[in-house]
A and B are shown apart, each in its own frame.
Chain A
């Protein structure tokens, strides 16, 4: 199961490697569950992110709200979703970004919605 990520196409499981890789990024996001941290993030995002000794790549991905990249770097959606509470982004947009699709195409083709 440790390398299950490689077994199912297009499906990154949150396994040992990802959990280790994404730990700091996810911790930063997890802490946004506390109002004082959300306030700090809103007030000065750079200073807030600096608390977590993230890599430059991680900081750039968060600042760009690049959901696909955050997951590539070991971010788990359940944690990084808390960023979307501060900077509102609908779940379907995050999904579309994961799939690398236009939002309307994603709604139509993946979710079967008439748009």
Chain B
């Protein structure tokens, strides 16, 4: 059966991609941010996953408001980067782990989730940036992907509790998938930021640090929080953090926090990551 080898929580701020495109990663503004990912990248290289499950949200690039899936799962063989308005970025397309995707969809529906199932679809920075942060800029990505979209744009967005439950199904799907693939799960988004309204530019460094410390083994409060609590603590767009719960729920109840990094601001956002492993 396939095996979960680790859980990643990470920001997916679009300006990280822009910084990489423009070669700004060594500038004073960006160096401290990228330096903190070196350990995570090294962990990934050593962990050698075959598949990355990436939980992220679209940002008005792939889905318009004509149809807004609360949860969507990609079952494609291949995913191209989408044109977000600046032209599609020059990064390799992503090969899909279609077998695991379909298996996950089967499990989801069995467990009374009703996802949108996407056979032909492009991916935005929400997936691209985490892949670049942990795999660099290879000519070909070393893993196949299972993309999971969570609506965090138009209300009602799903509850944190529902994200958690989805993570449980994800684990069951991976661990019942015939094969010996090594799977890493990446919950993405956040940390605190707000782009709209007069509270724009809101960053909550304290709450971000507490999140990065707590998501490993002190996560119960984050499971209990409402969507409003997330918005209040982390900003309207910081509520993306609910997507980390999908990853966290798919891991053991006790985990080892292998790596952690925080930097603020990256553009307008508190940014960072954790690398978790199930305690042996």
Contact = CB atoms under 8 A, between A and B. Distances in A.
A92 B18 CA distance: 14
Query: Is chain A's interface secondary structure helix, strand, loop, or mixed overall?
Result: helix
A111 to B, nearest CB: 5
A32 B82 CA distance: 12
A77 interface: yes
Interface in A37-87: 38, 71, 76-79, 81-82, 85-86
Contacts, number: 123
B138 interface: no
A57 B123 CA distance: 33
Given A12-B196, A98-B197, A112 B264 contact: yes
Query: Is chain B's interface secondary structure helix, strand, loop, or mixed overall?
Result: loop
Contacts of A106: 201
B60 A79 contact: yes
Interface of B: 15, 59-61, 64-65, 82-87, 153-156, 194-203, 227-228, 231-232, 235-236, 264-265, 267-268
7 contacts: A4-B231, A11-B194, A13-B155, A71-B197, A96-B201, A101-B201, A112-B265
Interface of A: 1-2, 4, 7-16, 19, 23, 26-27, 29-30, 32-35, 38, 71, 76-79, 81-82, 85-86, 91-92, 94-96, 98-101, 106, 110-113
